[in-house]
Amino acid sequence: MNQSNPDKPGSPGGPGGTLEEQRLGEWLVRNLLVDKGELELATARPGDPMGADALLQRLRLRGLITNHQARRLGESLDSLLGQGIPGYELIDRIGQGSTAQVFKARHLGTDRLVALKVMPGRAGGPSSEVQKFLALARAWARVRHPRIVQVLDAGERPFPFCALEYLPVPSMERDPRVIKRSTPFSERDLARVGLQVSEALCCLHGKGVVHRDIKPANLFLLEDGSILVGDLGLALWNKVDPHQARERGLALGSPYYMPPEQIANDAPLDGRADLYALGITLFQLATGRVPYSGDNPDQVYQHHFETPVPRLNQGRPDLSAAFCETVSNLMAKDARHRPASAEVVVELFGRIEARARLEGGAKAGR
């Protein structure tokens, strides 16, 4: 898994920083040896070495701590920072969320790159938050499918973490091969996306899991053209919502991709919600825009409820009637009018992709 959310370049714990450097900075501020402003003055410059020792030296060279303090703290780093996450070598930070950070790391036992999601400083935090994090990691680890990003490991000490499959590509939302294309996706490529995502949804729905956040930001296009589905952080597990989103007026998900029943928190939400989001995603990949937009989420929500489903063939007259009709049916506002299951969608896109492949081969043979 490859995520990114750039922080201020070079800041302690930011991109290019290390978890140990961030933890040391937090410890120094917490114990009043420096304040946050002084810590910011020790920001690494391009080419500067990174790590806890390097941070101490930058603080010393800028006169923010004394030589004696730098030496004494350097001798105590092991006890201050612990041993990190046993068995993993941290390389770079590649993502930042509200409660966790994601690092590119190496599992030392297998020499395998992973995306290591950690909750630094949370080992002694609220137990409910930690247990929710670990429960999600363990549940996700039980979902094994070639179209779904895998959780490989999880643990609680010295702080909560989970290791995910590392993907050397950004999500389709940020992938230059997607957003900087000189030509639109062909019908065959679009059908392949629909086919492979619905294959992943077959697995999830068969286990009672509703992904609840299908969108380009959670899809990954590998170099061989295959698609992986990631981020089960908002998933509904056997009708149990770990986020307790059923409060009045609270809808979890991404506004552009949510079906009306998810916006309204209608129970019970089922896999057809993911099929709606898949339809929106395919419309966006085909046209370069989402079908419903607005100045704020409420406007977008209103479009999902009231605006007629746009006709895909108006913007892409080259696409077949079968493909456009399938996408339109996925985007039906009433879940009863969508395909009954992800298995049905696999069959539909399988036929469309096969026909497009045959037609492409026939044209190439002329």
pLDDT digits (tens, 9 = 90+) for 190-232: 999 999 999 999 999 999 999 999 999 999 999 999 999 999 9
Q: pLDDT at position 173, please?
A: 95
Residue at which a domain ends, from 106, 136, 168: 168
Query: Which CA distances in Å does 206 have to 53, 74, 140, 237?
Result: 50, 53, 14, 11
Domain final residue pick, 168, 193, 215: 168
Domain end call among 109, 135, 168: 168
Secondary element (H or E) of residue 108: none
For residues 227 and 350, membership in a common domain is answered with yes
Whether the CB-CB separation of 321 and 334 falls below 8 Å is answered with: no
In a domain, 1, yes or no: no
Question: Residue 213 catalytic?
Answer: yes
What's the pTM value of the predicted model, to 2 decimals? 0.77
Q: Are 236 and 273 in a shared domain?
A: yes
44 and 150 in a common domain: no
Q: State yes or no: pLDDT of 78 exceeds 60.
A: no
Give me the domain span that covers residue 302: 176-364
pLDDT at 8 over 60: no
Which whole-number Å values give the CA distances from 345 to 1, 56, 98, 319, in the listed order? Answer: 26, 57, 35, 17
Percent of the chain with pLDDT over 90: 58
**Domain presence at residue 94:** yes
User: One of 35, 48, 53, 213 is an active-site residue; which one?
Assistant: 213
Are 88 and 59 contained in the same domain?
Answer: no
H or E element, residue 139:
helix 127-141
Question: Residue 311: pLDDT above 90?
Answer: yes
